[in-house]
Chain A
Amino acid sequence: MAEKFISERNLKFLLHEVFRIEELTRYPYYEDHSKEIFDMILDTALKVSKDKLFPILEEMDTDQPEFIDGHVTVHPNVRDLMNEFGEGGWINANFSYDLGGQQLPLAVVLASRFVFFAANYSASVYPSLASGAARLIASFGTDDMKDLYLPNMFAGTWQGTMALTEPQAGSSLADITTTAEPTDGGYYTMRGQKIFISAADHDGVDNIVHLMLAKIKGAPAGVKGISLFVVPRERIEASGELVFNDVHVAGIYHKLGYRGAPIVQLSVGENNECRGYLVGEPNKGLSYMFQMMNEQRIDVGLGAAGIASAAYYAALEYTKERPQGRRMTEKDPTLPQVFIIEHADIKRMLLFQRAVVEGSLSLLLQCATYADYEKVMDGEDKEKYSFLLDLLTPVAKSYPSEMGILSVSQGLQCLGGYGYCDEFPLQQYYRDVRIHPIHEGTTGIHGITLLGRNISLNGGKAYRLYLDEVTATANDAREFPELAEQANELRDALDTLQDVTATLLEVRKKGNAELFTADATLYLELFGIISIAWQWLKQAIIIRKALQDDATGHDADFYNGKLTTFRYFFDYELPKIEGLAKTLKKHSGVTIAMNEPLFSD
């Protein structure tokens, strides 16, 4: 099995050369950090991944979680891993010092998570979920809540979850029915059903802390009546004793992939003894939850890019060792066969994977950098980074998720029949990566979010800021004649985007809301391709500068390999927006016109 699952060189190239994260240390919030510290953290992440996560990748796929006597058992290493992530300070890495964290830039935390996800996605979601849930308590909980829950969640001894989905309410959270009835005791009595809750019960921790959406009795209908509660599996009595809190496991789901982490159905308050503790104000739960979900969405994009990265390196290794066929120009059948990496079509598949993986990672770290600057800036600058992050979150979640599937598929294809067999890891990666366009909001939902909400947010300000950012990169590329062609292509792509966006907004103006968002997923796809092209041009500018400084040997291959991948993206992927634009501008309405009876046969 391939040993490599990520490119450390590329990760450090993005962090240091493209996004220059060391510049963050000029701001007081990050001043204790340095490039040396960031590198030591990444080195440690890689070491932990190689030693502890990657070796059990396959095992966690085959030895799936089990539901026994009302409880979920998981791979025995999960407990050790949670301890390691807790003691190592990974769960609270980007929390502030006053909460016991390390005030690390999100870019470094996410770069580390990318490594973990690539090594073993299932194993890495446990600490990542704990971190996200803790973030909600830290942001909106009372001091008592923070004292009660955060130390154990940060230590990895208590799992955190996000309990949103219900049997009748997944994408449509307005329809949740879990109820919270106020009492005089400072808590609410909770009752309802939750499904598809990740890591919502397992024996790798001592307690589970659900961050649960529910409606307080008498609350307004729809999303405006949703509140957020902390609902521990075992509640903590004043004496410190843990008491079962009437949160039952109704079952676990048997999944296509990502099998090392359980997805659980919960039955809450069967005996009317489940206590929930309100987080923040009543009826504001969804907006609170979105804070955590936005971070989790970036995480999902990272997960997809990570799995696609591991699949790429597995495929790459195979293509270097598998002899098959001869070059098209070689007609002598007695000559030895060449390794398949010699064939143009194999190289096309490898380039596609590298373009998706490294382009996606760049966009994700771009978003992380926006979040880091947003934290330390004031006024208009702060607003700018906040808007850009908000605008791009659905893109950074969906492009890697959707394209990750195609990328892994091409990796599998490189292995031919072996790719389809369990002797090689590609089939597992193919199954594992399939979750990402589904969880944390489906691609369809993100399309509607981008087109229906984000583009017009604050009078279209975020959208205009985005156009400015991409234009600025295209202008920066002018310095290098070798990049002029792609810079022009990116400018043309922006024109296409603006043209498409304007015609769609016109449809909305005319009052046709259904037609406006009918093809929002395609709009998201177009937006994603342009965003990745932007990131590739951004990288190419840095590489051109570096090559001017006369990189030799190892680095010259690295830079030239990236430049070729950049050219691949502009020659093979960016032109795909033209077909999308044609469809989007047609406002065909065929998907609206189609109806159920016509699907009868």
Chain B
Amino acid sequence: MNIVACVKQVPDTEALIKVKADGSGIEEGGIKWVMSPYDEFGVEEALKTKEKFGGEVTIVSIGPARTMETVRTALAMGAEKGIHIDDPALYNADAYATASALAAAIKGIPHDIIFCGMRAIDDDSGQVGSILAELLGLPSVTVITKLDIEGSTAKAIKPIEGAQLLIETSLPCVITAQKGLNEPRYASLPGIMKAKKKPVEVKKAADLGLTVEQKSTVAKMSPPPARPPGKIIQGDDPAAKAAEVIRLLREEAKVI
């Protein structure tokens, strides 16, 4: 089976994020970059699918040179090869441009099933998997927590409010992974050693016959407003202080 897993490199959840002074993005110095956690579920499911049915897993990712570390991490987990799309036109691209580039790369290789994370933890857009499926003309099942493949049919469980859906679709298809789908394995030391020798193609948008088109742009990035400091009510009379608390809750906080 030819299996594809799309991964995105994002700042570590513990990284201290600072917005650039001009609001054009985040300060990247000193940030540790990791594979987006939902993409890890996708890679793990891709590897499990390979282990069950045979075949190979190709990793596709977009980003600057540092993205190669994330591709290698997926190879160290057990994937066979990678495609790294490194084109400045695609750095910080929107969901549509990202999905277009992924589609252009995946069109050129055999694919029976494609895994994505349900969303990337940096911009939280959650659209790439679905747009990718649309561009490839494939069915997509999103936010899934269980997957069974039988022949050319995929049965997926998708949790919804108070229930879960069992969705059946035909292969090839795009699956986006939710937490709970599996427990991603760690890269092993032998895997890390082998990853170095596995093939990774580095491509520009033009190599894929792609003209980058964005449907949206980030106008400005700003940090959430700082929390206002707490207020200490001064005075010696407890009754007066209590009355003041009630007044503030009613008039300022407007919670009672």
Which positions in A face B, CB cutoff 8 Å?
Answer: 3, 8, 32-34, 36-37, 39-41, 43-44, 47-48, 84, 87-90, 93, 102, 104, 334, 336, 552-555
Which positions in B face A, CB cutoff 8 Å?
Answer: 14, 27, 29-30, 32, 34, 69, 72-73, 76, 186-193, 195-196, 232, 234
Asked if A44 meets B27 with Cβ closer than 8 Å, knowing A36-B72, A37-B193, A336-B232, the reply is no
Of the residues A3, A37, A84, A552, contact of B196 by C-beta under 8 Å: A37
Contact check, A36 vs B69: say whether CB atoms are below 8 A apart.
yes
**B72, B189, B234 — which one has the most chain A CB atoms within 10 A of its CB?**
B189
A319 to B195 CA separation, bound complex (whole angstroms): 43
Contact check, B29 vs A553: say whether CB atoms are below 8 A apart.
yes
Asked if A553 meets B30 with Cβ closer than 8 Å, knowing A40-B69, A47-B186, A89-B190, the reply is yes
Contacts of B72 in A (CB 8 A): 36, 40
Given A43-B73, A554-B30, 12 further pairs, Cβ under 8 A = A3-B14, A33-B193, A37-B192, A40-B69, A40-B73, A40-B192, A44-B76, A48-B186, A88-B189, A89-B188, A89-B189, A555-B29
Specify the chain A residue showing the minimal Cβ separation from B229. A336
A and B contact pairs by CB, cutoff 8 A, 14 listed: A3-B14, A34-B196, A36-B196, A39-B69, A40-B76, A44-B76, A44-B192, A84-B186, A88-B189, A89-B190, A93-B189, A334-B234, A555-B29, A555-B30
Contacts of B195 in A (CB 8 A): 40
Contact check, B27 vs A553: say whether CB atoms are below 8 A apart.
yes
Specify the chain B residue showing the minimal Cβ separation from A92. B189
Asked if A41 meets B30 with Cβ closer than 8 Å, knowing A36-B69, A88-B186, A336-B232, the reply is no
A34 to B29 CA separation, bound complex (whole angstroms): 23
Contacts of B189 in A (CB 8 A): 41, 44, 88-90, 93, 102, 104
CB distance from B56 to the nearest CB of A (A): 21
A47 to B29 CA separation, bound complex (whole angstroms): 21
A552 to B28 CA separation, bound complex (whole angstroms): 12
Specify the chain A residue showing the minimal Cβ separation from B191. A89
A255 to B15 CA separation, bound complex (whole angstroms): 38
A32 to B195 CA separation, bound complex (whole angstroms): 11
Of the residues B32, B34, B193, B234, contact of A32 by C-beta under 8 Å: B193
A336 to B187 CA separation, bound complex (whole angstroms): 49
Give the number of residue pairs across the A-B interface with Cβ within 8 Å. Answer: 56
Contact check, B76 vs A102: say whether CB atoms are below 8 A apart.
no
Asked if A87 meets B29 with Cβ closer than 8 Å, knowing A36-B69, A336-B232, the reply is no
Specify the chain B residue showing the minimal Cβ separation from A336. B232
Contacts of B76 in A (CB 8 A): 40, 44
Contacts of A3 in B (CB 8 A): 14
Specify the chain A residue showing the minimal Cβ separation from B27. A553
Specify the chain A residue showing the minimal Cβ separation from B32. A8
Contacts of B73 in A (CB 8 A): 40, 43
A43 to B189 CA separation, bound complex (whole angstroms): 11
A128 to B232 CA separation, bound complex (whole angstroms): 54
CB distance from A109 to the nearest CB of B (A): 10
Contacts of B191 in A (CB 8 A): 89
A481 to B72 CA separation, bound complex (whole angstroms): 43
Closest 10 CB pairs of A and B: A554-B30, A89-B189, A88-B188, A40-B192, A89-B190, A553-B29, A102-B189, A89-B188, A44-B187, A44-B186
CB distance from A351 to the nearest CB of B (A): 22
CB distance from A179 to the nearest CB of B (A): 41
A44 to B40 CA separation, bound complex (whole angstroms): 13
CB distance from B109 to the nearest CB of A (A): 25
CB distance from A81 to the nearest CB of B (A): 12
CB distance from A320 to the nearest CB of B (A): 13
A34 to B196 CA separation, bound complex (whole angstroms): 9
Of the residues B14, B32, B69, B192, contact of A41 by C-beta under 8 Å: B192
CB distance from A40 to the nearest CB of B (A): 5
Contacts of B34 in A (CB 8 A): 43
Specify the chain B residue showing the minimal Cβ separation from A86. B188
A508 to B32 CA separation, bound complex (whole angstroms): 55
CB distance from A338 to the nearest CB of B (A): 14
Contacts of B190 in A (CB 8 A): 89, 102
**A87, A90, A336 — which one has the most chain B CB atoms within 10 A of its CB?**
A87
Of the residues B14, B32, B193, contact of A102 by C-beta under 8 Å: B193
CB distance from A288 to the nearest CB of B (A): 27
A32 to B196 CA separation, bound complex (whole angstroms): 9
Specify the chain B residue showing the minimal Cβ separation from A557. B30
A552 to B18 CA separation, bound complex (whole angstroms): 14
Specify the chain B residue showing the minimal Cβ separation from A50. B14
Contact check, B29 vs A552: say whether CB atoms are below 8 A apart.
yes
Contacts of B29 in A (CB 8 A): 552-555
Specify the chain A residue showing the minimal Cβ separation from B14. A3
Contacts of B27 in A (CB 8 A): 553
A298 to B186 CA separation, bound complex (whole angstroms): 27
